[in-house]
Amino acid sequence: MSHAWIQNLLFLGLLLALAVPLGPFIAKVMEGERTFLHPVLGPVERGIYRLMGISGEEDMGWKTYAWAIAFINLLGIAAVFALQNAQAALPLNPEAMGKLPTDLALNTAVSFVTNTNWQNYGGESTMSYLTQMLGLTVQNFLSAATAMAVLVALIRGLVRRTSNGIGNAWADLVRSTLYVLLPLSLVMALLLVSQGVIQNLAAYVHTASGQVIAMGPVASQVAIKMLGTNGGGFFNANSAHPFENPNALSNLIQMLAIFVIPAALCLTFGRMVKDRRQGWAVLAAMSVIFVLALSVTTWAESKGNAGLKQLPVDQVVSVHQGGGNMEGKEVRFGSGATSLFATITTSASCGAINGWHDSFNPLGGLVPLWLMELGEVVFGGVGSGLYGMLLFALVGVFIGGLMVGRTPEYLGKKIEAFEMKMASIAILLPSAAILIGTAAAVLSTAATASISNPGPHGFTQVLYAFSSCAQNNGSAFGGLNGNIPFYNYGLALAMLVGRFGVIFPVLAVAGSLGRKKVTPEGLGTLPTHTPLFVAVLVGVVLLVGALTYLPALALGPIAEQLSLR
């Protein structure tokens, strides 16, 4: 057994150790209880409410809540778009980066607001430091806060009885940013700098031999890019760049940062519904799928590239070399830490990379692709992973209810036609965006001209792009040239559909559940904290994912795998 497998186990152990205290902390914050941070940040929170002219206690119905979320996200798109247009004339631009083309600027604005962070640009050759900070870093925070708010609203819908309100969107946004995302980011940014991640506002360094080395406020952006499951790199090479991710320890910190809030939120959920077993059941279902996926990627990438087998190349894993499939990977990580990172980043809606997925072996690349297509509910994005998984839980109890012939219930709330309609819309819209978008692209000569690899792999590049965008992941099969109007506009649309086509139905479900009474548990109730329900949940997620995507996957990675013999 190579040490990569021990690294995998160590990661899972540390994740659990971090999530267990963080989960209840987040619950406290979102319920407005005092925490150890309140003496310092409490006055800031109250100050912001005063400026806003609210108390933070006003209860909103789901439509008002949805409008608040939509409004602040629209402002975000406008601000990021404007900054990219004006950056040439603004300060903190030592490399004199110019105005971006409209299609690219719009794609980037939508991408960061929707927590996708798909990047059709290379950071160090395109963006000023001000745009990176005031545009992109801000949206890394706000998009994560948005999804946390929506999740908490959904949980309130499950908890409350005959209530019209699902909480105050502004308080949810401010609290998650102020008490959860900001403090964690500050600590993590400094940890990263200690390992070698740069943090400065200096001009690029020119060495004696003429090498130009890009600089910038990297650590502050990388910390939240991970914690907020955003994934947009400061540099083009993202977390493969030595200044973003200098060693295997910084790599471990970053991987933990991707999963820690999504994992903790399961426990937040358990605490808020006053039944911790419910949170653990969801966490268990996520972990089962994750471990299966991780095993396939680790195995596939340690194998080396079958296409190079006839050449005198040593790809065997040994103590003298990491070995495996090393095209597009860094030596300090090797195939093990790169496989782990890739599985994490696509289970979550992160999309940061520490090696290029485009150069992965066919099966090693299939797993990240399919994980995104499952809806990113395996841990998933901050907030969005759990609200997505809770929709699958509703589908699960519905199917379970059909099988035993009882009215389905989840946590005492009757699941009826309206909830099932909303859950179906939220699951089907991103899938439709992926499949229709891919179909449209392969019919367009402009779009197919962007493909960089021949054969089935070229098709996978396009499928990956639409899967990544519609599921708000942001990782890429990077050889595809996405910076053409077709993809800039098309993928922006997919990102919006994949984000708000889920958020609005989730809030509608929250509103509808909140108005219902709680039915006492009876003999016919399907318990939702048992291993049986975990199995049902895993089954539903995998089944929906397989039925929707197997034909497309067969044309891409599966065909490529068969051709590499």
H or E element: which one contains 410? strand 409-410
User: What sections of 87-227 are H helices per DSSP?
Assistant: 102-113, 123-126, 129-130, 138-159, 169-175, 182-195, 218-227
Name residues contacting other proteins, limited to 366-385 (CB under 8 A). Answer: none
173 binds other proteins (CB under 8 A): yes
72 binds other proteins (CB under 8 A): yes
Give me the 37-56 binding string for other proteins, x by CB under 8 A, dash otherwise: -------x---x--xxxx--
Q: What's the N-to-C CA distance of the chain in angstroms?
A: 25
Nearest to 225 by CA among 104, 85, 123: 123
- In the list 77, 281, 337, 494, the residue contacting other proteins (rule: CB under 8 A) is 337
Shortest Cβ distance from residue 380 to other proteins (Å)?
22
CA 48 to chain CA centroid, nearest Å: 28
Supply the DSSP symbol for 324.
S
Burial label for 61, CB within 10 Å (0-12, 13-18, 19+), is middle
354 binds other proteins (CB under 8 A): yes
198 binds other proteins (CB under 8 A): yes
511 binds other proteins (CB under 8 A): no
Q: Which stretch binds other proteins (CB under 8 A): 64-72, 111-119, 265-273, 381-389?
A: 64-72
* Residues contacting residue 123 through CB under 8 Å, at least 6 positions apart: 132, 232, 233, 234, 235, 236
Shortest Cβ distance from residue 240 to other proteins (Å)?
3
Nearer to other proteins, 364 or 381 (CB): 364
Name residues contacting other proteins, limited to 418-477 (CB under 8 A). Answer: 452-457, 477
Place of tokens 């089962």: 288
Other residues' Cβ atoms within 10 Å of the Cβ of residue 71: 11
Nearer to other proteins, 171 or 422 (CB): 171
Q: Which stretch binds other proteins (CB under 8 A): 431-439, 492-500, 509-517, 556-564?
A: 556-564
Three-class SS state of 523: coil
Measured CA to CA, the distance from residue 386 to residue 376 in angstroms comes to 9
Shortest Cβ distance from residue 37 to other proteins (Å)?
14
Q: Which stretch binds other proteins (CB under 8 A): 20-28, 349-357, 366-374, 403-411?
A: 349-357
Measured CA to CA, the distance from residue 84 to residue 354 in angstroms comes to 26
Place of tokens 């016919």: 524
Q: Which stretch binds other proteins (CB under 8 A): 100-108, 300-308, 383-391, 418-426?
A: 300-308
Shortest Cβ distance from residue 513 to other proteins (Å)?
21
Two tokens, residue 531: 């291993």
Measured CA to CA, the distance from residue 356 to residue 373 in angstroms comes to 19
Shortest Cβ distance from residue 243 to other proteins (Å)?
6
213 binds other proteins (CB under 8 A): yes
Place of tokens 């782990």: 340
CA 316 to chain CA centroid, nearest Å: 33
Determine how β-strand 205-206 pairs with β-strand 212-213: antiparallel
Shortest Cβ distance from residue 249 to other proteins (Å)?
5
Nearest to 507 by CA among 175, 155, 113: 155
199 binds other proteins (CB under 8 A): yes
Give me the 133-152 binding string for other proteins, x by CB under 8 A, dash otherwise: xxx-xx-xxx--x-------
Nearer to other proteins, 441 or 526 (CB): 441
Nearer to other proteins, 162 or 209 (CB): 209
Q: Which stretch binds other proteins (CB under 8 A): 260-268, 329-337, 426-434, 466-474?
A: 329-337
- In the list 16, 17, 20, 202, the residue contacting other proteins (rule: CB under 8 A) is 202
Nearer to other proteins, 126 or 278 (CB): 126
